[in-house]
Amino acid sequence: VASAAYGALVCGTDYCEKNPCIQPPLVCPKNTEHRARHAGKCACCPACVILLGEGATCKIYSKELGETPSAVCKEPLKCIKRVCTKLV
């Protein structure tokens, strides 16, 4: 709760609209996914993200605090106890 409140104070709900990302377009390599809002402060910039499969080691990040992962669990997997896990 404290990190979410801190993130809301740092980024606000319209931070990206007021501070658009100035970055050239990305061409993502194979085995990655383009995400329009994933990198930079408050996750306003595009990024190429590696998609992790079931059983892969993962980490939970807080975009509001400026943490943006280079790898995330592939949908519908969720990062549970640092492992990409399929919910039953």
Structural domain boundaries in the chain? 28-86
Between CA 16 and CA 29 the distance in angstroms is: 25
What percentage of the chain carries pLDDT values higher than 70?
84
To the question of domain 28-86 being in CATH 2.10.80.20, the answer is yes
| 84 closest CA partner among 59, 49, 48 | 59
**Separation between Cα atoms, residue 33 and residue 47, nearest integer Å:** 8
pLDDT score, position 38: 83
For the stretch 50-59, pLDDT in tens is 999 999 999 8
Residue of 81 and 3 predicted with greater confidence: 81
As a whole number of angstroms, the distance between CA 86 and CA 79 comes to 9
> pLDDT tier at 80 (50, 70, 90 boundaries)?
very high
Q: Is the pLDDT of residue 69 over 50?
A: yes
Number of H helices, E strands in the chain: 2, 5
Quick one: how far is CA 44 from the chain centroid?
Answer: 10
The larger pLDDT score, comparing residue 12 to residue 32, is at 32
